[in-house]
Amino acid sequence: MPEYLVFHLHGPLASWGDTAVGEFRPTHDHPTRSAVIGLVAAALGIRRDEEERLAALSRGYNVGIRLDSPGVLLRDYHTAQVPRSGAKRAMREYPTRRDELQAPVHISTILSSREYQCDAVSTVCLWSRDGGAPYALDLIRDALNAPMFVLYLGRKSCPLALPLTARVVMGENLAEVFASVPFPGEGFLKRLEHPERAFRVYWEGDEDIGIQAIHSITHHDEPLNRKRWQFGDRIEHYGVITRREGDHVSEQDPVKA
């Protein structure tokens, strides 16, 4: 029976970067593939300049998203004053905000309009592609539960509000896993669930996952080069599932709440 790595993402703010032009920085309503791969890389301690390790990680896994609650869209008119950093040998570093404000150079103002999803909850599922996974799912699970670098929800200003509670589960397909994996936080998070228990699901790949695709669209979020901030296209499928009370899948070394 196939293995799947499952974990949950929740925070007061999240921003899953859509294609940004100029001063407008939109967000998707669910985590993008590049954000999920970047989060896993940070947990494993892979730095942005380790391009080969990042590429191997991106090639090794498929990503599925169950959107437990899309949250509420927030648009922030963002202003920030920063000094010019310079270039090459003239590059300057400012360890603190006090250092920035006292810099002997002109301080310019950056204006942008940035979108966030408030109180969104997502369940993420990773599964290995044939012959290409550089890390065992157990190792990624352990890294997510004790990450090397600080994790955040798309932007550094969007911290996690709950532990990821990553675990490896077994199921016939993605539909069985998403329909039965326990919802995190039976307290206040429970109120964010969809009242009809119908959830949007997004996934990639051509295999039969047990969910009928309502439509498939092209997403520009396949990470290609983190240093140059380059992304490629991929096909993402969309469908809907209904999660039932009392469903259960066998778990392998589950993380205790």
List pLDDT tens digits, range 4-18: 999 999 999 999 988
Cα 39 to Cα 47: distance, rounded to the nearest angstrom: 11
List pLDDT tens digits, range 168-221: 999 899 998 988 777 655 555 666 666 666 789 999 988 888 888 899 988 888
Between 175-179, 234-238, 240-244, the lowest mean confidence (pLDDT) is in 240-244
Q: Which pLDDT score, from 0 to 100, does residue 98 have?
A: 86
DSSP string for 121-181: EEEEEEEEPTTT-SS-HHHHHHHHHS-SS--BSSSTT-B-SS----EEEE-SSHHHHHHHS
Between 10-19, 139-148, 226-235, 239-248, the lowest mean confidence (pLDDT) is in 239-248
Q: Which pLDDT score, from 0 to 100, does residue 142 have?
A: 97
Task: Tell whether the model's pLDDT for residue 82 goes beyond 90.
Answer: no
Q: Which pLDDT score, from 0 to 100, does residue 250 have?
A: 40
3-state secondary structure of 21: strand
Q: 79 and 109 in contact (C-beta within 8 Å)? A: yes
Q: 212 and 239 in contact (C-beta within 8 Å)? A: yes
Reported confidence tier of residue 253, pLDDT bands at 50, 70, 90: very low
Q: Which pLDDT score, from 0 to 100, does residue 220 have?
A: 83
Task: Tell whether the model's pLDDT for residue 47 goes beyond 60.
Answer: yes
3-state secondary structure of 45: coil
Of 23 and 244, more confident: 23
Q: Which pLDDT score, from 0 to 100, does residue 187 have?
A: 59
Average pLDDT, the chain: 84
Reported confidence tier of residue 110, pLDDT bands at 50, 70, 90: confident
Q: Which pLDDT score, from 0 to 100, does residue 255 have?
A: 38
Task: Tell whether the model's pLDDT for residue 160 goes beyond 50.
Answer: yes
Q: Which pLDDT score, from 0 to 100, does residue 48 have?
A: 86
Cα 79 to Cα 138: distance, rounded to the nearest angstrom: 42
**Ramachandran angles phi, psi of 221, nearest 5°:** -135, 25
Cα 244 to Cα 254: distance, rounded to the nearest angstrom: 20
* Mean pLDDT confidence for 32-39: 94
What is the pTM assigned to this prediction? 0.82
Cα 168 to Cα 173: distance, rounded to the nearest angstrom: 13
Amino acid residing at 86 = G
Selection from 47, 51, 74, 69 nearest residue 149 by Cα: 47
Reported confidence tier of residue 101, pLDDT bands at 50, 70, 90: confident
Task: Tell whether the model's pLDDT for residue 130 goes beyond 90.
Answer: no
Amino acid residing at 211 = I
Q: Which pLDDT score, from 0 to 100, does residue 251 have?
A: 42
Q: Which pLDDT score, from 0 to 100, does residue 131 have?
A: 72
